């Protein structure tokens, strides 16, 4: 239960930061994708199912406010979380490099999917230009940001696991 | 943990189930069988207060920062502004004379009232689209303040966009530089119509693209572009921007090019929503 509350708060906070603060921190009108960092990190740290749920709710939040097709982002983020979860057993480590690469890769895949599903289908064929102006800058920015955010999420996850192991009444865990 | 033991589903099956759920949601909303507006309404009630709060903290902080600015700098600025006031007062008297003349001429031509006379609501931008692919934002006024879908949004004298979703206390606005937006427009001097559309590739440069300008003469750079009267959602005569580049198409009939918008889209904080819908105009 506590885990769920913490996750809900995390998703909410990330969404708020993403839509307010980070939009104003954007460089050359490209902002990092914090929600994807959250999704991928939890997928990597806690497995497929957790990644799936976190991704689903992150996407749902976007759908509720900005999506024109309800369920599209939920589906996309859900798959990103699930995919990250596939690497859970293989790579899970305190080392920052693997999650960084994974987050960058998932951002790349995510951007490509958005391009193909929402732009290519509207016959916007100039892929190279989109790659140069949106996809790659977003990937780099997100990757750099994940250096900080992943550590933070890792700590939170550690605390969560500790509390779960203890399995006893303790004060509410908050960020 | 006990709860989970009761019903443990494999993640693979869960994925399939949720995929099915999402796809059906997409299909249902795409075909408009089901409306998600109650859900949106509920979510906005939770989120909007937070976004308002963050926004207020942000503006408070930038206000404090400004207060720390050097006194000398402020004095210099003051002097500069006073000079400007004198200059503007002079200009104003000249312009008001022109205004009188304009009014007289407008009466003569029985032109519609300009958009400056429409009833407007001021609103603040509280959040922006989380992705980089679209350019939509949320403002802190909604149906409780009389905002409706398809109302025009302006800022600093130029067209910003269109209200696409309305909740009780917030509304989503799609800006004209958004990739999926297109506006029917015309030039001021010759009333040549064209289609102004947002393009993601131009977003970083802060430009708009126009196409299908059917001009008999050469299109001049610097020409003012306003919304045209044949648009179904945009009120006529709202300034969009100025032509910065124009090239003749290969068919020698139409022109294509770029427009520098009148609004600085990277730094929109306050907008005005015109409480006048295009449809009701004719009634």
ipTM of the complex: 0.71
Residue B227 lies inside a defined structural domain of this protein: yes
Same-domain status, B145 and B77: no
Question: Looking up tokens 């930038």, which residue turns up?
Answer: B62
Q: What are phi and psi of B68, to 5 degrees?
A: -80, -5
Same-domain status, B139 and B225: yes
* Residue A174 pLDDT class (50, 70, 90 cuts): very low
Chain A residue numbers with beta carbons less than 8 Å from the beta carbon of B172 are 65-66
CB pairs under 8 A between A and B: 132
Q: Is A52 exposed, middle or buried (0-12, 13-18, 19+ CB in 10 A)?
A: buried
Q: What is the mean pLDDT of residues B90-108?
A: 77
Cβ contact (<8 Å) for A65 and B29? no
Question: Looking up tokens 């003749």, which residue turns up?
Answer: B248
Instruction: Please give the sequence-ordered ranges of beta strands (E in DSSP) within B77-119, or none if there are none.
Output: none
In whole angstroms, what is the distance from residue A33 CA to residue A14 CA?
10
Chain A residue numbers with beta carbons less than 8 Å from the beta carbon of B128 are 19-20, 23
Residue A171 lies inside a defined structural domain of this protein: no
Q: What are phi and psi of B90, to 5 degrees?
A: -60, -45
Question: Looking up tokens 């995390």, which residue turns up?
Answer: A10
Name the residue among A13, A174, A7, B66 with its Cα closest to residue A21.
A13
Structure tokens of B100? Answer: 């009188």
* Residue B4 pLDDT class (50, 70, 90 cuts): very low
In whole angstroms, what is the distance from residue B143 CA to residue B146 CA?
5
Residue A174 lies inside a defined structural domain of this protein: no
Q: Using CA coordinates, name the residue in chain A closest to B35.
A: A70
Q: Using CA coordinates, name the residue in chain B closest to A167.
A: B1
In whole angstroms, what is the distance from residue B1 CA to residue A162 CA?
14
Residue B160 lies inside a defined structural domain of this protein: yes
Domain at B274, CATH number: 2.40.10.340
Name the residue among A61, A108, A101, A119 with its Cα closest to residue A80.
A108
Same-domain status, B206 and B269: yes
In whole angstroms, what is the distance from residue B235 CA to residue B183 CA?
11
**Pick among A16, A50, A68 to test the B interface (most B CBs inside 10 A):** A68
Contacts of B242 (CB under 8 A, 6+ apart): B222, B223, B224, B225, B259, B260, B262
Same-domain status, B126 and B89: no
In whole angstroms, what is the distance from residue A125 CA to residue B260 CA?
24
| Strand, helix or coil for residue A127 | helix
Alpha carbon of residue B181 to chain centroid:
10
Q: CA gyration radius for chain B? A: 24
Residue B195 lies inside a defined structural domain of this protein: yes
Same-domain status, B150 and B245: yes
**Pick among A70, A107, A122, A166 to test the B interface (most B CBs inside 10 A):** A70
In whole angstroms, what is the distance from residue B131 CA to residue A118 CA?
13
Domain boundary among B91, B111, B131: B111
pTM, rounded to two decimals: 0.73
Residue A54 lies inside a defined structural domain of this protein: yes
Domain boundary among B62, B90, B111: B111
Same-domain status, B163 and B219: yes
* Residue B2 pLDDT class (50, 70, 90 cuts): very low
Same-domain status, B78 and B170: no
Same-domain status, B153 and B178: yes
Contact B130, A19 (CB under 8 A): yes
Residue B112 has pLDDT above 50, yes or no: no
Q: Work out whether strand B120-128 and strand B158-166 pair parallel, antiparallel, or are unpaired.
A: unpaired
Cβ contact (<8 Å) for A28 and B204? yes
When CB atoms are compared, the residue of A64, A75, A164 closest to B22 is A75
The DSSP code for B145 is G
Specify the pLDDT at position A172: 53
A4: how many CB neighbours lie within 10 A of its CB? 9
Name the residue among A72, A71, A74 with its Cα closest to residue A54.
A74
Average pLDDT for chain A: 82
State how many domains chain A has.
1
Structure tokens of B271? Answer: 């907008």
Name the residue among A14, A94, A89, A96 with its Cα closest to residue A55.
A14
Same-domain status, B130 and B190: yes
Higher-confidence residue of A126 and A40: namely A40
Cβ contact (<8 Å) for A71 and B138? no
Contacts of A92 (CB under 8 A, 6+ apart): A44, A45
Same-domain status, B89 and B170: no
Structure tokens of A11? Answer: 């998703």
Residue A142 lies inside a defined structural domain of this protein: yes
The alpha helices in B122-177, defined as continuous H runs, are none
State how many domains chain B has.
2
Domain at A27, CATH number: 1.10.1760
* Residue A92 pLDDT class (50, 70, 90 cuts): low
Average pLDDT for chain B: 80
Run of H or E including B91? helix B71-109
Which residue range(s) make up the domain with B218?
118-278
Q: Is B211 exposed, middle or buried (0-12, 13-18, 19+ CB in 10 A)?
A: middle
The Cα of B14 is separated from the nearest Cα of chain A by a number of Å equal to 8
Specify the pLDDT at position B3: 46
Q: What is the mean pLDDT of residues B212-220?
A: 73
Which residue range(s) make up the domain with A63?
2-165
Give per-residue burial for B229-239: e unless 16+ CB within 10 Å, then b: bebebbbbbbb
B102: how many CB neighbours lie within 10 A of its CB? 13
Structure tokens of B58? Answer: 């942000």
Q: Using CA coordinates, name the residue in chain B closest to A27.
A: B204
Chain B residue numbers with beta carbons less than 8 Å from the beta carbon of A66 are 129-131, 134, 136, 172
Q: Using CA coordinates, name the residue in chain B closest to A107.
A: B131
Same-domain status, B149 and B267: yes
Q: Using CA coordinates, name the residue in chain B closest to A125.
A: B201
Residue B186 lies inside a defined structural domain of this protein: yes
Structure tokens of A64? Answer: 């509720």
Residue B64 lies inside a defined structural domain of this protein: no
Q: Provide, rounded to the nearest whole percent, the portion of chain B with pLDDT above 90.
A: 0
Residue A156 lies inside a defined structural domain of this protein: yes
Chain B residue numbers with beta carbons less than 8 Å from the beta carbon of A65 are 40, 43-44, 47, 127, 138, 172
Chain B residue numbers with beta carbons less than 8 Å from the beta carbon of A129 are 201
Residue B10 lies inside a defined structural domain of this protein: no
Residue B111 has pLDDT above 50, yes or no: no
Same-domain status, B135 and B178: yes
Run of H or E including B226? strand B224-227
pLDDT digits (tens, 9 = 90+) for A3-37: 888 888 888 888 888 888 777 777 777 888 889 99
């Amino acid at each position: 239960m506590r885990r769920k509350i913490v996750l809900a708060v995390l998703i909410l906070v990330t969404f708020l930061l993403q839509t307010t603060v980070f939009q104003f921190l954007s460089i050359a009108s490209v902002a990092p994708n914090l929600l994807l960092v959250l999704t991928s990190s939890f997928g990597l740290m806690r497995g497929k199912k957790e990644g799936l749920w976190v991704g689903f709710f992150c996407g749902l939040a976007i759908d509720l406010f900005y999506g024109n097709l309800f369920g599209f982002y939920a589906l996309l983020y859900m798959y990103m979380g699930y995919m990250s979860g596939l690497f859970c057993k293989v790579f899970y480590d305190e080392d920052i490099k693997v999650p960084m690469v994974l987050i960058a890769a998932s951002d790349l895949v995510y951007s490509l999917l958005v391009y193909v599903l929402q732009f290519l289908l509207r016959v916007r064929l100039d892929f190279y230009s989109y790659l140069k102006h949106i996809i790659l800058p977003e990937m780099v920015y997100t990757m750099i940001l994940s250096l900080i955010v992943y550590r933070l999420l890792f700590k939170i996850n550690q605390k969560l696991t500790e509390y779960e192991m203890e399995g006893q009444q303790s004060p509410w865990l908050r960020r | 943990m006990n709860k989970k033991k009761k019903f443990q589903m494999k993640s693979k099956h869960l994925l399939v189930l949720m995929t099915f759920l999402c796809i059906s949601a997409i299909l249902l909303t795409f075909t408009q069988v089901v409306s998600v507006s109650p859900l949106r309404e509920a979510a906005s009630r939770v989120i909007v207060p937070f976004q308002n709060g963050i926004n207020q903290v942000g503006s408070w902080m930038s206000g404090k920062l400004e207060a720390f600015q050097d006194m000398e700098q402020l004095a210099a600025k003051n002097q500069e502004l006073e000079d400007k006031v004198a200059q503007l007062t002079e200009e104003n008297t000249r312009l008001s004379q022109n205004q009188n003349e304009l009014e007289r001429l407008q009466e003569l031509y029985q032109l519609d009232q300009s958009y400056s006379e429409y009833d407007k609501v001021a609103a603040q931008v509280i959040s922006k689209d989380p992705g980089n692919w679209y350019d939509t934002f949320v403002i802190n006024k909604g149906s409780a303040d009389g905002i409706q879908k398809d109302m025009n949004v302006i800022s600093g004298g130029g067209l910003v966009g269109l209200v696409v979703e309305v909740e009780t206390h917030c509304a989503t606005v799609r800006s004209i530089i958004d990739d999926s937006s297109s506006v029917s427009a015309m030039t001021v001097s010759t009333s040549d119509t064209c289609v102004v559309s947002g393009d993601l590739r131009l977003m970083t440069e802060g430009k708009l693209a126009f196409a299908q300008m059917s001009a008999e003469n050469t299109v001049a750079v610097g020409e003012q572009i306003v919304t045209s009267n044949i648009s179904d959602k945009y009120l006529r005569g709202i300034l969009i921007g100025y032509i910065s580049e124009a090239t003749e198409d290969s068919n020698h009939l139409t022109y294509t090019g770029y427009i520098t918008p009148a609004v600085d889209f990277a730094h929109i904080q306050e907008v005005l929503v015109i409480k006048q819908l295009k449809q009701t105009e004719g009634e």
